[in-house]
Chains A and B, each alone.
Chain A
């Protein structure tokens, strides 16, 4: 599949933003979030900006962005519509939670719970868009939803940990909690992603079933068109195996291994070194997960490619 920059940015940024607000809401619900205005501004404004710019960037992907509101109508059948509805509904508790925290010096447990629920439901809907696309085996399998949720929570936890240290806002206990959550979520996220990368690679269909022709070998000898058409531009994208392997290594190193090492080495500390390590871990992880997301699209193979002998 064509790795469109707008969709890669949307899924990565909104995944991170929703993960960040989900953890803020969960910790607030358990009374573990420090009531610190600067932290509230840092965490919630970042989360809301990431989610909003992600959604705006996904609008740029549309052929007719001015009609985007229509996407709210078909929630009965369409996961994309459900995602849009969930994303908009989540703004309500998230704004209340952020507003109360920043302006009223109040951490609302109820708004926190609903923010976390809304955030996770939205990420779930995003994942289900891909999970339900039968022609693309790399997406339409049981690994897609766990990976989206896990990577959202992993990036969110790592960023929340970095914010706590950067604002010097957390008690030793809070920093320990966020650090532990981040450190546990990284191997969990990697395990799930690895399972997705190595999931049954047989395609959803074969050239035999796609054409209804028998025969041991069916070779495409002539395309219907001489230049690349919409189908090939959108769904015939190919990434060289050599590059895919290298990019998986980069995604693994930056998305999982480097942040894990940085957090483990500085675990239990709240000094400038731990802060610098946490911020670096958060940034490197976001870059690594962007590479992961690029591969998620670029490596996905659509059955229409079969007709072109690809």
Chain B
């Protein structure tokens, strides 16, 4: 059913820290690794080692140069995946009922057995979160690792999305953004997390933490100069002679 739930019990999503992300693409790689065998498998690659390589990925990292102060710019790495919006038009435009938003946790999923591959959902998503699998003829998208986060075969510590688990800098956080007391909600409040394209009204669940303000000078750490005292004896006499 492509009508949206009025309210979801939880709002599971990601918080992505643009200050910490170093653009290593580990999240991209682990996402591909898990999901090519997961709920939406396979993530088909076409011509992977040749010219015109193409394939399905749920997570992509862009890199931008941002002029954020006069005469200064900084590099920002920007991971982008499905934002599991509260009002996802990708779901309501679906003519077959293949796309749906879960009432329990708000995750947006595609039932690949119902998808006719009309691609309209990918047109309706402003973020480019959905990618078409030309080999399977159906649309694919991020599942928020629905097959990990509830997976009792995994250790509890591993029941998070693959991208979050693998991030070496801790730039990705997973949790319930509908609960104001959750760690992710507190993080968003503390760091001034933002929605992407809020003006379009999709109400994305995922939040982005903007880079921290630039520091123009290093703080004084109080380190005193500790110089090596000149040696005495014969070597001292040679040193003085040569330093003259």
Contact = CB atoms under 8 A, between A and B. Distances in A.
B123 A135 contact: yes
A219 interface: yes
Interface stretch (A36-44, A106-114, A147-155, A221-229): A221-229
Contacts of B55: 229
A132 B89 contact: yes
A184 interface: no
A113 to B, nearest CB: 28
Interface stretch (A204-212, A255-263, A272-280): A204-212
B103 to A, nearest CB: 15
Contacts of B231: none
B93 interface: yes
Given A76-B3, A304-B126, A67 B114 contact: yes
Interface residues of B, number: 72
A129 interface: yes
A242 to B, nearest CB: 26
Contacts of A219: 64-66
B105 interface: no
Given A205-B126, A227-B53, A303-B126, A220 B63 contact: yes
A77 B53 contact: no
Interface string A211-243: 111111111111111111111001100000000
Interface string A51-80: 000000000011111011011111011111
B132 interface: yes
Contacts of B1: 74
A67 B116 contact: yes
Given A71-B96, A230-B132, A307-B62, A135 B125 contact: yes
A67 B201 CA distance: 32
Interface of A: 1, 61-65, 67-68, 70-74, 76-81, 84, 129, 132-136, 204-205, 209-231, 234-235, 302-304, 307-308
The 10 closest A-B pairs by CB, nearest first: A63-B117, A63-B137, A304-B128, A224-B60, A135-B126, A81-B95, A222-B63, A71-B95, A70-B96, A212-B194
Contact of B131 (A73, A74, A217, A230): A230
Given A73-B97, A218-B66, A229-B54, A63 B136 contact: yes
9 contacts: A63-B138, A76-B2, A77-B3, A136-B123, A205-B197, A224-B62, A225-B60, A230-B132, A307-B62
Interface string B88-128: 01011111111000000000000000111111101111111
A134 B200 contact: yes
B121 to A, nearest CB: 10
B68 interface: yes
B96 A73 contact: yes
Contacts of B133: 63
B132 A77 contact: no
A80 B120 CA distance: 8
B80 interface: yes
B117 A235 contact: no
B139 to A, nearest CB: 8
Contacts of A308: 62
